[in-house]
């Protein structure tokens, strides 16, 4: 069975600081998919990124970047030059081929203070 751990329950930083959200996953499958979702105060879940287990390339999208390290089973998320609008709960999730479900981490509540 898969398991996703987000050890940081809450993080609070001042605007413009860089912040990294950690995600560690466990799975016995060789083919799996990793995701990050954002849940802003309004409550909806917003998809940020999907990565498959065969693609360890890091990804950058604007101020967001993701570091996928199979050796440490981690898929960390970094926000550069954070902004108040980045304040949200961020979820890391994993899915395995054929299982047809996402297993979510506990979420990290990120607060960006002005």
Partner 1 sequence: DTAVSQTPKYLVTQMGNDKSIKCEQNLGHDTMYWYKQDSKKFLKIMFSYNNKELIINETVPNRFSPKSPDKAHLNLHINSLELGDSAVYFCASSQGRLLMNTEAFFGQGTRLTVV
| Contact residues for partner 1, defined by CB under 8 A | 33, 35, 37, 39, 43-47, 50, 52, 89, 91, 93, 95-104, 106-107, 109
Positive or negative CA dihedral for 54, 58, 77, 24?
positive
Smallest distance from partner 1 to CB 25, Å: 14
Nearer to partner 1 by Cβ, of 44 and 114: the residue is: 44
Nearer to partner 1 by Cβ, of 37 and 66: the residue is: 37
Smallest distance from partner 1 to CB 81, Å: 26
Nearer to partner 1 by Cβ, of 9 and 114: the residue is: 9
CA-angle at 87, arms to 84 and 5, nearest 5°:
150
Distances (CA, A) of 108 to 9, 31, 39, 104: 5, 26, 10, 11
Cβ atoms within 10 Å, residue 55: 12
């Amino acid at each position: 069975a898969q398991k996703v751990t987000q050890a940081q329950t809450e993080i609070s930083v001042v605007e413009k600081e860089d912040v990294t959200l950690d995600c560690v996953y466990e799975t016995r499958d060789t083919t799996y998919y990793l995701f990050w979702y954002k849940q802003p105060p309004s409550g909806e879940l917003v998809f940020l990124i999907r990565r498959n287990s065969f693609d360890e390339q890091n990804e950058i999208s604007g101020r967001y970047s993701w570091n996928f390290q199979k050796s440490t089973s981690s898929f960390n998320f970094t926000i550069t030059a954070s902004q108040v609008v980045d304040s949200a709960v961020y979820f890391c999730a994993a899915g395995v081929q054929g299982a047809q479900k996402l297993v979510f981490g506990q979420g990290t509540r990120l607060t960006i203070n002005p």
